[in-house]
Structure 1
Amino acid sequence: MSAMRGAAAYGRGASAYAKVGVESGVMSASPHQLIVMLFDGALAAIRTARIHLQDGNTSEKGKAISKALDIVNNGLAAALDTEQGGEIAAQLGSLYDYVARLLLSANLHNDTERLNQAEKLLNDIASAWRDIGDHGARG
């Protein structure tokens, strides 16, 4: 019984450590790094959704797609500054809206191809975003 309690305590400790690590990463991240983290989270959620879709686990697929949608709508799209970003921000907003529609359709129709399209679009934008950060860091 004490071994079970020890394992449970270890699990709680590891979980708390991971949470603190994530929170610390967010707290110390630049605005640019936060956007990269949002892209990474959305892409990971889409990959998870694909795995659950292929396994026939529609409930978990739906949760993963909901997470990706939340990141796209309430993270990436919400972070756009249309006043300072102008036309680029407006175009990104339209692209995020399209990605959200792809994700909704993929969820509704269990469509791997639409998941792939959403992932490719987000990956392309994320790559460009990372390149901007790399150039800015180099001076």
Structure 2
Amino acid sequence: MNAMRGAAAYGRGASAYARVGVESGVMSASPHQLIVMLFDGALAAMRAARLHMEAGNVAEKGRAISKALDIVNNGLAAALDAEKGGEVAERLGALYDYIARLLLSANLHNDVQSLSQAESLLESVASAWREVGAQAGSE
């Protein structure tokens, strides 16, 4: 029984330590780095959803897809500035909307193909975003 309590306490401690690390990273990140973190979080949630889908774990798949949706809708899409971004922001907004619909379809129908397409599209945008950051950092 003590070993179980110790493991649980360790798990809580490790979780708290990870939260502090993430919070510290967010506090010290540039706006560009924050967007990269959003991409990374959404893509990680999509990978987790795929694993849960393949394992038949419906509840965890739903949680992972919900997390990805939340990041896409309330993080990435919400960060778009239509005034400054113009047509690029408009097109990204439409793409994020399409990715959200793919995620909803993947969740509703256990559709790995929709999940893969959403992940591929988001990875393409994330890759371009990382490249812009790398070029800006080298100037």
What TM-score range do you get, normalising by the shorter chain? over 0.9
Q: Give 4+ residue runs of structure 1 displaced > 4 Å after superposition.
A: 1-5
Distance in structure 2 (CA, Å) of the matches to 1:4 and 1:59: 25
Unaligned 5+ segments in structure 1 are none
Distance in structure 2 (CA, Å) of the matches to 1:114 and 1:3: 43
Q: Percent identity?
A: 76
CA RMSD of aligned residues (A): 1.2
Task: Name the counterpart of 2:61.
Answer: 61
Q: What TM-score, normalized to structure 1?
A: 0.95
Partner-residue secondary structure (3-state), 2:78: coil
> Could you tell me which amino acid in structure 2 is paired with residue 26 of structure 1?
V
Give the total of aligned pairs. 139
Q: What TM-score, normalized to structure 2?
A: 0.95
Once the 2 structures are TM-superposed, how far is the Cα of residue 12 of structure 1 from its aligned partner? 2.4
Distance in structure 2 (CA, Å) of the matches to 1:31 and 1:68: 20
Task: Name the counterpart of 2:71.
Answer: 71
For each residue in 1:67-88, what CA deviation from the matched residue of structure 2 results, as whole angstroms up to 9, or x when unmatched? 1000000000000000000000
For each residue in 1:27-51, what CA deviation from the matched residue of structure 2 results, as whole angstroms up to 9, or x when unmatched? 1000000000000010011111111
Once the 2 structures are TM-superposed, how far is the Cα of residue 9 of structure 1 from its aligned partner? 3.2
Unaligned 5+ segments in structure 2 are none
List aligned pairs for 1:33-72, cutoff 5 A. 33-72=33-72
> Could you tell me which amino acid in structure 1 is paired with residue 54 of structure 2?
Q
Distance in structure 2 (CA, Å) of the matches to 1:108 and 1:28: 38
